[in-house]
Amino acid sequence: MSDLVQFSSQTAEAVATARQHSVGDLLRRTALRYPDKLAVVAGQRRVSFAEFDACVNRCAHALAARGLGKGDRLALLSHNSWQFAVLVFATARLGVVLVPVNFMLGADEIAYILGHSGASGIVAEDALAPTAEKALASAGVAGGVRGWIGLSGSGGPGAGWEDVDGWIDGPGETSAPQVAVADDDPLRLMYTSGTESRPKGVMLSSRSLIAQYVSCTIDGGMSGEDIEVHALPMYHCAQLDCFFSVDVYLGATSIILPGPDPAALLATIERERVSKLFCPPTVWISLLRHPDFDRRDLSSLRKGYYGASPMPVEVLREIQQRLPAVQLWNFYGQTEMAPLATILRPHEQLARAGSAGRAALNVETRLVDEDGHPVPPGQVGEIVHRSPQAALGYYNDEAKTAAAFAGGWFHSGDLGVMTEDGYLSVVDRKKDMIKTGGENVASREVEEALYLLDGVAEVAVFGIPHPHWIEAVTAVVVPRQGAELSVEQVHAHAREHLAGYKRPKYVVLADALPKNPSGKILKRDLRTRHADLATDGERA
């Protein structure tokens, strides 16, 4: 603290309390402004902001009664739900660090996250509780808080688990717990596939998240009058922090769906008069192709958002033709930016098609060379950012944090080109990230899994263009000399060892992989050579 500010500890504490502005405070302030306004619709439940706030407080007190306190980590393994929404803000009220877990991961993958994060407890959807149990056993975690979210109607996972609805709807205290949460206290630990064989834990604070909410609000044209459907996974920071949490901050209405089923999405837009929708291009395409698209009244829709990959120009034109009242925004970023970095606005969609837009309100973006020096417009460089939105770093990994923040900029690992007026185009992924169906897949992780198969000498994994998935995971495998290896054997092995979205959609057997003189595999050559697989009638 500056030498100009010298107070007693008691006075300093009082000032800090009066100035507190953490994620946990946002819902309370919205509830004070709009107590009776519809906040959340999830299944049969429709709650006002005042009711939402009271449920969050009851849940926070229940978590505290079970021994969770500031700095503890709570893992959450579930599809989108009302309970998920409550836990986001209940943990923030206590300063408990929420660890949302991808529900498509297998038990071993979840075990790594539980062990690495040092989770003190886990909440799992009832249908996913058996997977959670296996993960707990594999991670060597026997005790801790265990709660279950009843979505499958199975009646719960059994002994050792508690129904989260009891935490939310029980007779607990409805006043806010008194916990001092500073701007840069970690509140979220988001595990990203990154480019490594093991995911990294990205630490986000209130400062990171709220600065990002402001960027989304201003540059994304958001308001408290929005009615938004949230169908993409909330374990991912795009749906959770670019949209749902921003809606809570602004006092907008959120309709929560368990997943992006096209028929359910279209019916919900009609029934709830939804005005705002975020989907990756793959889901927008599935909506356009669904027979209900022209049968449903979608006239309430005014704002559309996409991200994870560029929208094909022909799809942009089709959306504009079939939904002429809808304005579109492209959001580009990564988890470490909480996650928004740049935005392409509605009037720029066709004129700048394929561009990721310009830096968002609270972000400064540039391109640098291998030595960290800025590169001129039109030249390829690594995309780096400065912003209060940036993460605190990687949990328990100073080396990776130091590398990512070298020179005082966050290094995205993506390569891009920038115009003189600041429009960014992402041209490649520095470390071979594949973005398929809105999910990140590290090529190295898939390669390591395939190397476990007997008979594999070499393997290269990369993404190729796909009409639905935007990018499809593709593997070129070189069999060992004398080994009898089939494409189907590779697919079967992948089914055993990888989550569904990580498995190669295409497998090619080859005699050798293209390499440069130093022995580095030339994946760009492979992408070019196999770019037409998705249109050649091969396995999809």
Q: What pLDDT tens digit does each residue of the chain (540 aa) get?
A: 577 878 999 999 999 999 999 999 999 999 999 999 999 999 999 999 999 999 999 999 999 999 999 999 999 999 999 999 999 999 999 999 999 999 989 998 999 999 999 999 999 999 999 999 999 998 887 668 999 999 876 778 888 899 999 999 998 899 999 999 999 999 999 998 644 558 899 999 999 999 999 999 999 999 999 999 999 999 999 999 999 999 999 999 999 999 999 999 999 999 999 999 999 887 898 899 999 999 999 999 999 999 977 787 888 999 999 999 999 999 999 999 999 999 999 999 999 988 999 999 999 999 999 999 999 999 989 999 999 999 999 999 999 999 999 999 999 988 889 999 999 998 766 666 788 888 878 777 788 789 889 999 888 899 999 988 989 999 999 998 889 999 999 999 999 999 999 999 999 999 988 875 445 678 888 999 999 998 765 555
293: left (phi over 0), alpha (psi -120 to 50) or beta: alpha
Give the integer Cα–Cα distance in Å for 83 and 42: 9
pLDDT of the residue at 359: 98
Residues 497, 465 contacting (CB under 8 angstroms): no
Give the integer Cα–Cα distance in Å for 487 and 459: 13
Indicate whether this model's pTM tops 0.95: no
> What is the C-alpha end-to-end distance of the chain, expressed in Å?
58
pLDDT of the residue at 384: 98
Residues 503, 472 contacting (CB under 8 angstroms): no
Tell me, what amino acid is at 374?
Answer: P
Residues 74, 59 contacting (CB under 8 angstroms): no
pLDDT of the residue at 195: 42
Beta-carbon contacts of 517 under 8 Å, excluding residues fewer than 6 positions away, are: none
pLDDT of the residue at 342: 98
| Residue labelled with tokens 């050649």 | 536
**Residue 73, phi then psi, degrees to nearest 5:** -110, 135
**Structural domains of the chain, with CATH:** 49-181 (3.40.50.980), 434-535 (3.30.300.30)
Cα four-point dihedral sign 57, 63, 65, 71: negative
Question: Packing angle between helix 82-94 and helix 23-33, nearest 10 degrees?
Answer: 110
pLDDT of the residue at 518: 44
Cis peptide before 465 (omega within 30 of 0): no
Burial class of 341 by CB neighbour count within 10 A (0 to 12, 13 to 18, 19+): buried
378: left (phi over 0), alpha (psi -120 to 50) or beta: left
Give the integer Cα–Cα distance in Å for 279 and 348: 19
Neighbouring CB atoms inside 10 A of 296's CB total: 17
pLDDT of the residue at 430: 64
pLDDT of the residue at 539: 52
Tell me, what amino acid is at 309?
Answer: S
Tell me, what amino acid is at 162?
Answer: E
Going from the C-alpha of 156 to that of each of 36, 138, 140, 296, 519, the distances in angstroms are 33, 21, 22, 36, 53
Q: Coil, strand, or helix at residue 282?
A: helix
pLDDT of the residue at 140: 82
